[in-house]
Amino acid sequence: MNFPSLDRETITGIKKSIDSTFREFASNWGEWFTELLSPIHWLLIHFEKLLLATPWYIFLGLTSLLLWKVTQNWKLILGFLISFNLIGLVGMWDDTMRTLAIVVVSTLVCIVVGIPTGILMAKNNLAQRIILPILDLMQTIPSFVYLIPVIMLFGLGKVPGLIAISVFAIPPVIRFTNIGIREINKDLTETAHALGLRPMHILRLIELPLARNVILGGINQTVMMALAMVVIASMIGVRGLGSQVMNSIGNGYLGLGVISGLSIVALAIIIDRAIQSHNKRHDKWRDNK
Amino acid sequence: MKRFIMIIGFVLMSAIASAGLFTATKADDIKIAELNWQSGSMIANIDAYILEHGYGHNIEIVPGGIDATIQSMMATGSPNIFGEAWTSLLGDSAHEYIANGSLIQVRSEVITGAGEGWFVPRYMVEEYGLNTIEDVLARPDLFPHPEDPSKGGIVICPEGWSCKKHNENLFRAYDMEAKGWRLIDPGSNTGLNAHWEGQVIKHKGAFGYYWTPTVLVGRLDLVALPSTEGYAGDDNWANCISKAVDECVNPQASSWPISKTGTIVTPGLNQEVVNYLTIRGFDGSVITSMLVWSDDNQATAEEAAVEFLRQHPEIWTAWVTPEAATRITASLN
């Protein structure tokens, strides 16, 4: 027996009223939203241009220096140099830079929005109860459900790409910040409070430093998820390694698929190992002290 | 494990045997391919309804797509009717089959005015008098590219579609880069649709690739633009525009060719079925209006087919015998 559903006209009516409400909204507010996010759009375009314009040897040199400063792990740097030289040799350099650009900017957006949200959740149980299911929703809802409206609002290209990536990738940084702060021994914060430290000071001097490794773990997860989303982003017009993957899928080019897929993997592994190795070094330094 | 494989094998074999029995008992059925695009599946359902209710044939509708259907027709002689076959997309072996009579093309134009092209919304034509591709190319400022508003943007086909080459070569043929244009890659079919939809909702300039008959063209009221050069010939189109960019040295600007949509059947069909298929054909605007209707009512292809028969008796009664027309009219009420 069929489930007693609403009659077809009513269901159609509901779906159509959602459609027309959204169309109305997009036609009135599309311009306004585009303006609102134009600074991020500018950053996306210009950061990509900068990476593309940087000569490869300068990019390799500066990034090696940066990696050395954060990790002091020469094996990682060697791995980075080898994999990026291979990427350049197989002609994936420009696409790798494009992907790096959008992943870096998306991660920054996730951090700037995510860490304060995580702190709010840690401090306020009601906020946690409200935000947790929203995070679940963000990680499970099929991206195209919200991407189609997003493209209608913002047009094709980088901004919808950034939104797609950030919606999917921001939950870890929020969750880890929340957990990191909640896990801190209450005695510490209570002592600090008794000594007269203000909540802002407690946060800055005690909680954030102690939660640091957990939060970095969250950021690491966020970067990984951002990289996993570059293929979806390419389906709405973000160029980069993702569009090469799409190209290989669309035309059945196995070789191109392997090369572009492995380039994404290389990017992911290097970022992941850099953050982990930084954490390890930090721990060692703290234990010795 | 061995026993498990044997059981699986037995189940498979009995499934195949019963499937064979099943088709054998229904040998008189006519199988119509329901194509996986909007107009194709609606036409399949119209054919099915007319042949079933007008002529009393047993009809089975089987799902298909251009490649899947034509391959299956060549290999197994089933399905029997491929209603809206885009002949230019069929491939050489299918044309050989048609040439030697293994398949029969009973009609060469099912939908008039069907095809791909470069479109703009009608309000751009009316507000700025952009009647040709050349008119549009002179005004990149009306169609700002999302990432570089100083340039004009033309949306093309996503990666992996054969029309991407056509777009890229025409872009070069019109020397559009020098005229201040850049390509917009929509990334996917979804991206392409949402781009058109969004631009029209915001009443902004939009220019680029789409095809007709489709719901989108009807609902957004998009207009295909011709070139002042006209169609620059099959040689240019087949041997340059359709090739990869590095194989097309000297592309000529050209209107898009009109796509031929034919009806292809397997041999041995009942003559009255063939007669019907030979006569029936649709005007592109009728198909578009029916697609918009089904979109508005979120109707299935079958419901759209019935609605077409209800709304346009003046069209379909000309295709069928008077007796069949009476029977169909009776079944509709």
Predicted pLDDT at A100: 95
Do A140 and A199 meet the contact criterion of CB atoms below 8 Å apart?
A: no
What 3-state DSSP class applies to B106? strand
What is the rounded average pLDDT of the residues A33-37?
89
A29: nearest CA partner in chain B: B202
Q: What is the pLDDT of residues B19-76, one digit of tens each?
A: 444 443 334 689 999 988 889 999 999 999 999 999 999 999 999 888 889 989 999 9
Q: What is the CATH number of the domain that holds A133?
A: 1.10.3720.10
Residue A289 resides in a domain: no
Predicted pLDDT at A272: 92
Cβ separation A237–B297 shorter than 8 A: no
Given a cut of 50, whether residue A130 has pLDDT beyond it is yes
Domain count for chain A: 1
Residue-range definition of the domain harbouring residue A182: 13-282
What is the C-alpha separation between B104 and B73, in angstroms, rounded?
A: 11
Given a cut of 50, whether residue A49 has pLDDT beyond it is yes
Cβ separation A157–B146 shorter than 8 A: yes
Angle, helix A93-123 to helix A208-228, in steps of 10 degrees? 140
DSSP state at residue B239: I
Q: Which residues of A27-38 are buried (b: 16+ CB within 10 A; e: fewer)?
A: beebeeebeebe
- Please report, rounded to a whole number, the percentage of residues in chain B having pLDDT higher than 70: 92
What is the rounded average pLDDT of the residues B222-230?
91
What residue type is assigned to position A96 of the chain?
T
Predicted pLDDT at B28: 65
Given a cut of 90, whether residue A77 has pLDDT beyond it is yes
Taking chain B, what is the end-to-end CA distance rounded to the nearest angstrom? 59
Taking the CA of residue B75 and the nearest CA in chain A, the distance in Å comes to 23
Q: Is B123 exposed, middle or buried (0-12, 13-18, 19+ CB in 10 A)?
A: middle
Q: What is the pLDDT of residues A208-233, one digit of tens each?
A: 999 999 999 999 999 999 999 999 99
pTM: 0.80
- Cβ atoms within 10 Å of B6's Cβ, excluding its own: 10
What is the rounded average pLDDT of the residues B155-167?
88
Predicted pLDDT at B12: 52
Predicted pLDDT at B19: 47
Q: Which of B123, B155, B159, B204 to mutate to test the interface with A (most CBs of A within 10 A)?
A: B159
Given a cut of 80, whether residue B18 has pLDDT beyond it is no
Q: Which of B187, B191, B202 is closest, CB to CB, to A31?
A: B202
Given a cut of 90, whether residue A124 has pLDDT beyond it is yes
Q: Which of B198, B297, B298 is closest, CB to CB, to A152?
A: B198
Tally A–B CB contacts below 8 A. Answer: 87
Given a cut of 50, whether residue B192 has pLDDT beyond it is yes
- Cβ atoms within 10 Å of B18's Cβ, excluding its own: 10
What 3-state DSSP class applies to B105? strand
Residue A158 resides in a domain: yes
What is the C-alpha separation between B144 and B204, in angstroms, rounded?
A: 9
- Note the ipTM here: 0.82
DSSP state at residue B206: -
Q: Which of B231, B238, B195, B245 is nearest to B216 (CA)?
A: B195
- Give the pLDDT band of residue A58 (cuts 50, 70, 90): very high
Q: Which of B143, B165, B188, B190 to mutate to test the interface with A (most CBs of A within 10 A)?
A: B188
Cβ separation A250–B184 shorter than 8 A: no
B294: nearest CA partner in chain A: A12
Residue A1 resides in a domain: no
- Give the pLDDT band of residue B318 (cuts 50, 70, 90): very high
Given a cut of 70, whether residue A279 has pLDDT beyond it is yes
- Give the pLDDT band of residue B13 (cuts 50, 70, 90): low
A236 touches chain B (CB under 8 A): yes
Q: Does residue B16 come out as left (phi exceeding 0), alpha (psi in the -120 to 50 range) or beta?
A: alpha
What is the C-alpha separation between B86 and B223, in angstroms, rounded?
A: 21
Cβ separation A144–B190 shorter than 8 A: yes
Strand duo B148-155 + B144-145: pairing: antiparallel
User: Hey, what CATH topology would domain B31-112+260-332 get?
Assistant: D-Maltodextrin-Binding Protein; domain 2 (3.40.190)
Looking at beta carbons, which residues of chain B come within 8 Å of A237? 184-187, 191, 195
What is the rounded average pLDDT of the residues B118-143?
95
A235: nearest CA partner in chain B: B187
Given a cut of 60, whether residue B168 has pLDDT beyond it is yes
Predicted pLDDT at A27: 87
User: Hey, what CATH topology would domain B115-247 get?
Assistant: D-Maltodextrin-Binding Protein; domain 2 (3.40.190)
Cβ separation B190–A251 shorter than 8 A: no
Residue A288 resides in a domain: no
Cβ separation A246–B190 shorter than 8 A: no
What residue ranges of chain B are covered by domains with CATH 3.40.190.100? 115-247
Looking at beta carbons, which residues of chain A come within 8 Å of B188? 235-236, 246
